[in-house]
Structure 1
Amino acid sequence: MIKSMNNSFSRFLLVGGTSTILDYVIYIILSRYIDYSLAKVISMCCACTYSFFLNKEFSFKDQSKNNIDQLIKYVVAQVINITVNVLVNAFVLKTVGIKIIAFIVATGTAMIVNYLLQKVFVFRGVKK
């Protein structure tokens, strides 16, 4: 169980890192030509789509065909994840008063919550 979690968590981190890079690159390119808010929406949608399918196939090795159900669960998980990120960031910022510390703590906390949500809620039908 621990070895399986470590492997899926490492793959999850890799997907998350590449997803963040994809988000950033698309945002930077599109924001040169269109409104930055629209560019961010498009880049996040691309990164989330990429992340969903790679986490399903690569991180969690889920081979079920429940893409619609899982996609809905994924969106719910992302809403929870964003909420946790924002709340932790606000709490730490009010407590410590240092933005970078708040950002790091919020991102780390949200990453763990996101991993657990995807592992037990979104892709729980993992094939070994």
Structure 2
Amino acid sequence: MSSNQPANSIDETSEPAAHTSAVGHLMNNQLVRFILVGGFSAIVDFGSTSLFTWVFGFSDATAKTLGFILGTLTAYLINRRWTFKAEPSVTRFVITMVTYALTYAVQVGLYLVSIPWLADMGLDEFWVRLFSFVIAQGTATVLNFLIQKFLIFRT
């Protein structure tokens, strides 16, 4: 750095280390970001679903629905800003919510179908719910990424 350049300035001829490292490259990858957001949103979803099931005594369908809504809103807001870097849009939000309604049916359907199937295997109630959640969430994540990337955000 030359003596006439301020001490806190960045040399524009060199790229920031985060962009040249493998980690920086991965973090700029939409799929990686989508998966990270999905993981965080899944924690919100499963945590809420568990809370509504075991603390408030809601049915599996009601608890999963409320957890799905909270997880979905979390995912949409973070994905719009961080993963796809899209401007706010009422139209995009409505289309995304319609898409989520479709994947909701798939997710809740898989969740409710897998509970008795896994329970018949003699698993503890917690593991039945967790594995059911993972099956449903995994399927919904793949569907949501494909729909958002190629239809909603078109990046």
For the aligned pair, the TM-score class normalised by the smaller chain equals 0.5 to 0.7
1:97 aligns with 2:122: yes
Q: Does the residue aligned with 1:97 lie in a helix, a strand or coil?
A: coil
By relative contact order (CA 8 Å, sep 6+), the higher-ranking structure is: 1
1:87 aligns with 2:87: no
**1:13 alignment partner in structure 2:** 39
Deviation per residue, 1:32-82 (Å, 9 max, x gap):
xxxx78x96995586156335325415642627422222111111111111
Structure ranking higher in helix proportion? 1
* Identical aligned residues as a percent: 6
**2:84 alignment partner in structure 1:** 61
Q: With structure 2 as the length reference, what TM-score do the two structures score?
A: 0.55
Q: With structure 1 as the length reference, what TM-score do the two structures score?
A: 0.64
Aligned length: 118
Cα distance change on mapping 1:54 and 1:85 into 2, 3 Å: same
1:74 aligns with 2:74: no
**2:74 alignment partner in structure 1:** 51
CA distance in structure 2 between the aligned counterparts of 1:57 and 1:72, rounded to whole angstroms: 16
Whichever residue aligns with residue 107 of structure 1, its letter is F
CA distance in structure 2 between the aligned counterparts of 1:127 and 1:6, rounded to whole angstroms: 17
Structure 2, unmatched stretches of 5+, are 1-25
Whichever residue aligns with residue 109 of structure 1, its letter is I
CA displacement at 1:18 relative to structure 2: 3.4
Contact 2:103–2:144, Cα closer than 8 Å, also in 1: yes
**2:14 alignment partner in structure 1:** none
Whichever residue aligns with residue 88 of structure 1, its letter is S
Structure 1, unmatched stretches of 5+, are none
